[in-house]
Amino acid sequence: MPTITKLASGNWRAQVRRKGCYAADTFRRRKDAEEWALNTERCIDQGITPSRRPKGPAKTFGDLIDLHIHDLYEVGKPIRRSKAAVMEALKLSLGGVGIVRLDRERLIDFGKWRAKRGAGPATLAIDISFIRTILSHAAAVHGIDVAAEDVRLARIALSRLGLIGKGVERDRRPTPDELDELIDHLESNPRQLIPMGRIIRFAVATAMRQEEICRIEWSDVDMKKKIVQVHDRKDPRHKEGNHQKVPLLNLTGYDAWQVLLEQRIVTRAQDRVFPHNSRSVGAAFRRACRFLKIEDLHFHDLRHEATSRLFEAGLPIEKVALVTGHKDWKMLKRYTHLKPEDLHKLQSEKQLTVDEHINMLAGM
């Protein structure tokens, strides 16, 4: 619980001690102190570093970052872990740069510096996008004079240099032998407490991410309709409240419903279906891949595999989207793996059907 103390000045001091973290700030009103303390506790629970309110006028880019984060806290929208990590990295590399010195040339130099240290085109694009967001927020909300146009010009320059662009799409699919080896190894290991074999089968059957799998509760499962509701499913714009119902199918070589029934026996239908930390699931998967010498395979590749198998099972794109949760069907085109030679096969199958129909009519 946070500590709220009234100071001799009449202000209110809020202190938060949680999970080894400490944060404190001073407010004019008790209500503001209580709201800040509540948001700070939420951030710590999400693994996000609490932010203090900037003191005095903003002078550096780091001040603008603090201002942006604090404003989001105030309206009850604390940034999540991935965005917080980018903000921390930007603060380390550009935080000390004065606002007036954050011009086009400085941003281009930053992009080149990041690229030399291994940042790919997609990663650098995210960095520049966040920089633009922070500057636009400062200008729109606080009326701070910033060079927002310089960010646009720097992005154009970095794109022309090939340092900004789309990420390379992964097309790594586990082979059936690799999946069998992984499942056999994990299920035969007495030291492996997490039911990784069932989790892998469930992932390939449902196309769910590891965080989504570990978040499902038994209250989310409709036992009659064989449907599970996934809460706050990942979405580039609106993750919170993005709840989706996913059917538990048997179309990918693994039966999602059967796996669920197996877990129901183990967990006695209490709390979560897979009551394990998603990071531990990822770590166990990586250890198994290293032990079996399976190279360049990520847990997220199982989602790719599941999506591909749904197409191979004959589902049209709109029905695949009901399982995977993709709102933009264009994102699913890469999973179809349609090859030019496949069209000959389709043509042969269609011609065979026509010939069979003609023969049937001739025999009448």
- Coil, strand or helix: which one is 169? coil
Dihedral of CA 133/136/140/144: which sign?
Answer: positive
List where CATH 1.10.443.10 sits in the chain: 176-339
For this structure, is 304 an active site residue? no
For this structure, is 137 an active site residue? no
- Could you give the CA distance from residue 288 to residue 216 in angstroms, rounded to a whole number? 24
Q: Which of 18, 83, 226, 326 is catalytic?
A: 326
CB 286 within 8 A of CB 276: no
CB 244 within 8 A of CB 208: no
Question: What contacts 263, CB < 8 A, 6 or more positions away?
Answer: 195, 198, 273, 274
For this structure, is 300 an active site residue? yes
Q: How far is CA 82 from the centre of its chain?
A: 8
The number of helix segments (H) and strand segments (E) in the chain equals 14, 6
Q: What is the DSSP letter of 143?
A: -
For this structure, is 68 an active site residue? no
Orientation of helix 256-267 relative to helix 196-206, angle to 10°: 140
Orientation of helix 104-116 relative to helix 121-142, angle to 10°: 150
Higher pLDDT, 168 or 318: 318
What are the Cα distances from residue 187, in Å, to 58, 76, 190, 197, 199? 56, 43, 8, 6, 11
Minimum mean pLDDT among 122-131, 223-232, 337-346: which range? 337-346
What are the Cα distances from residue 23, in Å, to 9, 38, 43, 69, 303? 20, 12, 11, 15, 39
- Summarised one tens digit per residue, pLDDT across range 271-315 is 999 999 999 999 999 999 999 999 999 999 999 999 999 998 988
- Summarised one tens digit per residue, pLDDT across range 106-137 is 999 999 999 999 888 989 999 999 999 999 99
Question: The tokens 């920089």 sit on which residue?
Answer: 131
Strand partners of residue 229: 245
What CATH architecture is 176-339?
Answer: Orthogonal Bundle (1.10)
For this structure, is 170 an active site residue? no
Q: Which of 70, 185, 201, 209 is catalytic?
A: 209
For this structure, is 132 an active site residue? no
When pLDDT is cut at 50, 70 and 90, the band that residue 359 belongs to is low
